[in-house]
Chains A and B, each alone.
Chain A
Amino acid sequence: MKLLTRYMPLAVTLLACAFLLVPTLQSVLAGITANYFRGLSSGLTLKWVGEVWGLYADSILLSIWLALACLAVTLLIGVPAAYALARAPGRLSRVLEEFISLPLAIPGLALALALLQLYGAQQGFRAHWSFILVGHVLYTLPFMVRAVQAVLAAIDLKTLEEGAASLGAPPWRRFVDIVVPNALPGILAGSLTVVTLSIGEFNLTWMLHTPLLKTLPVGLADSYASMRLEIASAYTLVFFVMIVPLLMAMQWATARAQRILS
């Protein structure tokens, strides 16, 4: 009985881990197995990973490009927006904040549909990568604003700025010298979140993409649907290699920002 109570939690934990890890490992293994239907005895190979690169290099590069562009836009809009919200905490600011956060509550599909209705007729824009970018920015902006705003709310921004002003700093210098450096932990956490979400985003992108503009997750769906299992699995492997380091960096940056908040 005593033995049971001691080892029960461990057993449950291990089972839960196995439940999550076994399919993942299986999928990864499938991606480097020469012939999945004959099993591991057929030998290990990187051939399928090579095939993925050959077939989907464009998707991988497009995703990276979109993530970076999305990051640039959310930084440009999100940091000043968070600053403005932190400087004027009032009812209007809270309403605006909710408004910015709205895309979090609305399903990506609905958001995509709205974008298609609004801009679908403009052929040049519709078929351009910037159309997907608009969707990604809408979806990731609240994460940037929230992350920066939380850090800004934790420091006595008003007095720091008054201090800089008393020393002769005009408003833009105060923003560059005081606000941005002190918000950096939040900006870093927000940036990693935005890049990770943008690379992994599927719902919106699936609706917005054109056959010539497939992002990493859209390509993954495509490979599942139309390629042999080994290629799809190798694709998953590529996806993991890209997203896992980002996720880890995001965790680290968020923990770092949290330390400053406390």
Chain B
Amino acid sequence: MTLTLTCVAKTYGSGPRALHPTDLRIETGEILSLLGPSGCGKTTLLRLIAGLEEADPGAEIRFGDEDVTHLPVERRHIGMVFQSYALFPNMSVRDNIGYGLRMQRLPRAEIRSRVEEVIALCRLEPYADRAITALSGGQRQRVALARAFAPRPRIMLLDEPLSALDAALRLALRDELAALLRSFGTTVIFVTHDQDEALAISDRVAVMEAGQIRQIGTPEELYRAPRSPFVAEFVGHAMPLAGARRVGGLHLAGGILPLPAEAGPGPVYVRAEDLRLDPHGPLRACVDSVTFLGTHYRLGLSALTDQRLYALHHGQSAPRVGEAVTLSIAPEALICLPL
């Protein structure tokens, strides 16, 4: 089911716009994530698509050929996974999963077989007859997913489905969730504030800020070719290299960085993993802090630009705090943003 949004905006009461007019098209079977910091309008956009909020006049939301702009949520045939899961505490796992099918007034036998099918798909067999309160966080998350998917929704909407879990579990369930969503084959829209989650799960990512979509593209595109400082900094924590453009390249406080010929006049960014310790490098900096992180060291560097930068250092030993180091950056690793 393709989803087409045209001029969808939302204003709460007389407050500022939570979502500026937005156009968006999502193809059948695509997994799209809405990524952004809290308050960026991503949840508002999701709730507008679900029908839990009403868009400002002039908006149009189409599921395939059908205009659903004015349909209430219960008639949109969507599947939704809430941040808190919203599982019904008065029903067993099985009854939760069957609820949407019962609302469709399907024959009993069909409901039963469909519920069993989804329970097997989500590997919930051992818990099927348990009460919701007797489940762990990860199990609840799977029940919420199974419940949303059981009525064969046209679109699945997930609101931060992993954020209620603790960090270790979140990582394990992220890949499991990605695999399950792929196996469903439905169109999925996924809200998250965690860039790793967005990059790992989605086909395309829409980065949002201040009620607007700033950039939309595949995870690789966003990571390698951000088009604005916000996207560069939010996706992959790129750091600005502030300096003056003159002959020879970018003049930083700690040296002259040669720029590739095709670099435009826009700001230049670099990621911590691309800032290399190099005895023959053109840049000098002073080590401010050294943090050992197991696979690598994280070095805080001052005097390279007027802002503190970080470098990831893989190696058996690291420079000490206060030591002066020289650095280099591969030209292809520089992120040159348009003006």
List the interface of chain A (C-beta within 8 A of B).
155-156, 159-160, 162-170, 173, 177-178, 181-182, 184
Contacts and interface: CB of A to CB of B under 8 A. Distances in A.
Contacts of A184: 90
Interface in B67-83: 72-75, 77-80, 82
Contact of B80 (A160, A163, A169, A178): A163
B100 interface: yes
A184 B90 CA distance: 10
A172 to B, nearest CB: 11
A166 B89 contact: no
22 contacts: A156-B84, A162-B52, A162-B73, A162-B80, A162-B82, A163-B86, A163-B88, A165-B52, A165-B72, A165-B73, A167-B74, A167-B79, A167-B151, A168-B77, A168-B151, A169-B99, A177-B88, A177-B99, A178-B88, A178-B90, A182-B88, A184-B90
B106 to A, nearest CB: 11
Given A156-B84, A159-B84, A173-B103, A166 B90 contact: no
A237 B79 CA distance: 60
B312 to A, nearest CB: 40
Mostly, the A contact residues are helix
Contact of A166 (B78, B84, B88, B104): B78
A207 B78 CA distance: 58
Contacts of A163: 80, 82, 86-88
A251 B84 CA distance: 33
Nearest to A156: B84
Interface in B211-225: none
Contacts of B148: 166-167
B198 interface: no
B74 A165 contact: yes
B103 A166 contact: no
Given A166-B50, A166-B78, A166-B79, A182 B90 contact: yes
A209 to B, nearest CB: 41
A177 B79 CA distance: 18
B82 A159 contact: yes
Interface string B31-75: 000000000000000000010100000000000000000001111
Nearest to A260: B89
B78 to A, nearest CB: 6
A126 B103 CA distance: 47
A178 B148 CA distance: 16
Nearest to A161: B86
A169 B90 contact: no
A178 B74 CA distance: 15
B73 A166 contact: yes
